Structures are given as C-alpha cells and as structure tokens.
Amino acid sequence: MQPLLTAPGRAVWLLPTPDFRDAAFRSRATPGGGFTARTSDPERADRNIAVRDDLFTRHLREETARLRLPAITVDLTMSEDELAERVSEVFGL
C-alpha cells in the first residue's frame, strides 16, 4: 500500500493566495480581535502570523510541485462551485 501523499487520487492541496488568506481571516474575525488582541502588540502578532502562513504556503507549493502532487491555488476570484469542480476533476468525479 502506498503512503497517502504518493497515492494518486487520494489528496489535493488547497493553497491560498495571501489575499485569500487575509480575506478568510477578516471574515472569521471575532469581536475583540481574537487571540492576537491579547498580545502585547496585536498588530505585530497579526503580521507575524501572516508571514508564517505565507512561508508555510510557499513551502507547500514547492513540495507539491517537487513531488508532483495535485495542488489548487485558491484566490479571491474563485467561486465555491469552481473550486468544487476543480477538486472533483483531481479525484476524477
């Protein structure tokens, strides 16, 4: 049996653009600003999280390309239906 990541048709990586990620976090914002509001420098904490997430996404993008794993870049122009269609294509549905 092959590991999950190397078996075709078992996984697809959704890689958000920075704009998509920012919009997603803004849409889920909680009153009072969430956990970063409880830090000594909330703006810096938010920036650090954004940088960390961007580095992680870049790493995933490089690794999925290197390993030839299916990945879909998700941006603000993509509708839910379009994303569902692209994921379905990956899985051959």
pLDDT one-digit tens code per residue, 28-61: 666 566 777 888 998 898 889 889 999 999 999 9
Within the chain, residue ranges assigned H as helices are 18-27, 42-66, 80-91
SS3 31: coil
Q: Would residue 69 count as lying in a domain?
A: yes
Evaluate whether residue 17 is within a structural domain: yes
| Residue 3 in domain | no
Mean pLDDT taken over the chain: 85
pLDDT of residue 1: 43
Range of the domain at 63: 10-91
Question: Number of folded domains in the chain?
Answer: 1
CA distances from 59 to 13, 29, 46, 80 (A): 12, 26, 20, 25
**36 found inside a domain:** yes
Instruction: Decide if 37 is inside a domain.
Output: yes
